[in-house]
C-alpha cells in the first residue's frame, strides 16, 4: 500500500465515522475499508483485464473515468480532492 493510499483511507475512516448514525457496534478502521475493497474486487474478478494497475482499476469500475484524470475517492470538507490515481 502506498503512503498516499493509507493517508486517504485514514481520512475516509474519519469522515465515515462522523457520518455514522449508529455509534454502537464494530468501529470502522482502515482494515474495514480494505476488506470491503477486496470483497468488491473479488466480486468483479471476471471483469479484470489489463496489463497495468491503471488498466486493471479501470476494468472493474462501473463507469471508468479517463485514466489521465484519475478518480476522486472522496471530497474533503475543505474542498480538497483525494486522488486514488498513482503519482508519476
List pLDDT tens digits, range 40-72.
Answer: 999 999 999 999 999 999 999 876 555 554 445
> Cα(9)–Cα(27) distance, rounded to whole angstroms?
14
CA distance 81 to 75: 5
pLDDT of residue 23: 84
Neighbours of 57 (CB within 10 A): 20
- The answer to whether residue 9 scores a pLDDT higher than 80 is yes
Q: CA-CA distance, 12 to 17, in Å (whole number)? A: 8
Question: What per-residue confidence (pLDDT) applies to 88?
Answer: 41
Taking the model in full, what pTM does it have?
0.66
Distance between CA 27 and CA 51 in Å, rounded?
Answer: 36
Question: Helices (DSSP H) in 1-88: which residue ranges?
Answer: 3-19, 30-43, 53-60
Amino acid at each position: 500500500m502506498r503512503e498516499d493510499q493509507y493517508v486517504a483511507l485514514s481520512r475516509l475512516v474519519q469522515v465515515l465515522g462522523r457520518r455514522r448514525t449508529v455509534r454502537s457496534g464494530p468501529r470502522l478502521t482502515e482494515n474495514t475499508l480494505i476488506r470491503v475493497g477486496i470483497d468488491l474486487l473479488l466480486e468483479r474478478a471476471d471483469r479484470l483485464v489489463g496489463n497495468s494497475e491503471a488498466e486493471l482499476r479501470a476494468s472493474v469500475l462501473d463507469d471508468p473515468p479517463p485514466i489521465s484524470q484519475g478518480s476522486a475517492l472522496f471530497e474533503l470538507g475543505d474542498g480538497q480532492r483525494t486522488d486514488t490515481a498513482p503519482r508519476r
